[in-house]
Amino acid sequence: MRVASLLLPLLAATACGADLAAVLRAVEQRYNRAATLEADFEQRHLVGGRPRRIEAGRLVLRKPGRMRWQYSQPPGKLFVCDGRWVWLYSPEAREVEKARLKETEDFRAPLAFLLGRLDFRRAFGTFEVSEADGALVLRAWPKSDRAPFDRVDFTLGADFAIRRLLVQAPDGTAMEFLFSNERLNVAVPESAFRFAPPAGVPVIESEP
């Protein structure tokens, strides 16, 4: 009840311009206090605003710089970051893609800023806050034209958790992530972020 009561003034202020600084600070405080995060996710590849492909699984984050996306749909697909390298294994493609985290153009990369100390103004250059269906939507534009995305929309819950993430790509497509069952500061072993390619599967390393 206390969290909801704190959010009401922000929602009321949205019509005439929400307190952007307060919203950024609330989200930053939530995630900066967390060393680990787990959540279920649904991932949608949007073309023309319509889902072309829908995938799902479990996300695990651990500071500093580690993430694991374990897919249940499609089964066996895996995206792992050990803080330096990003690995993407697709059983259907029968290959592993490997790239440095700073060089990857994967749609999951915008979440990488959650793996350190969250500072919106360092990661993004321009912001806008609005209301949609009773929730706050924070839109953020990257500082650099070389970013692999044009804009990121964060839909926030009453506890300032990120419930939806929409990443707009320069080619007009988008990737949408829906998060649920979020848990903070749970024990996560280091082994969750190690990756060994399956035997006989080629590893393709991306060039800078």
CATH of the domain at 27: 2.50.20.10
Residue 13 lies in a domain: no
Residues of the domain holding 174: 18-195
Instruction: Report, as an integer, the average pLDDT of 133-151.
Output: 88
Residue 54 lies in a domain: yes
In this prediction, residue 107 carries a pLDDT of 54
Band (pLDDT 50/70/90 cuts) for residue 69 is very high
Residue 50 lies in a domain: yes
Tokens representing 172 are: 């007009």
> Per mean pLDDT, which range of 51-55, 146-150, 170-174, 179-183 is the poorest?
146-150
Q: Return the closest-CA partner of residue 138 out of 116, 110, 112.
A: 110
Band (pLDDT 50/70/90 cuts) for residue 64 is confident
Residue 112 lies in a domain: yes
The structural domain count of the chain equals 1
b/e for 153-175, b at 16 or more Cβ within 10 A?
bbbbbbebbbbbbbbbbeeeebb
Residue 203 lies in a domain: no
Render pLDDT for 74-107 as a digit per residue (tens, 0 to 9).
Answer: 999 999 999 889 999 999 888 999 988 776 655 5
Whether 81 and 67 have beta carbons less than 8 Å apart is answered as yes
Residue 8 lies in a domain: no
Residue 4 lies in a domain: no
Render pLDDT for 155-182 as a digit per residue (tens, 0 to 9).
Answer: 999 999 999 999 998 899 999 999 999 9
Instruction: Report, as an integer, the average pLDDT of 43-67.
Output: 92
- Whole-number Å distance between alpha carbons of 78 and 17: 40
Residue 142 lies in a domain: yes
Note if the pTM is more than 0.75.
Answer: yes
In this prediction, residue 118 carries a pLDDT of 83
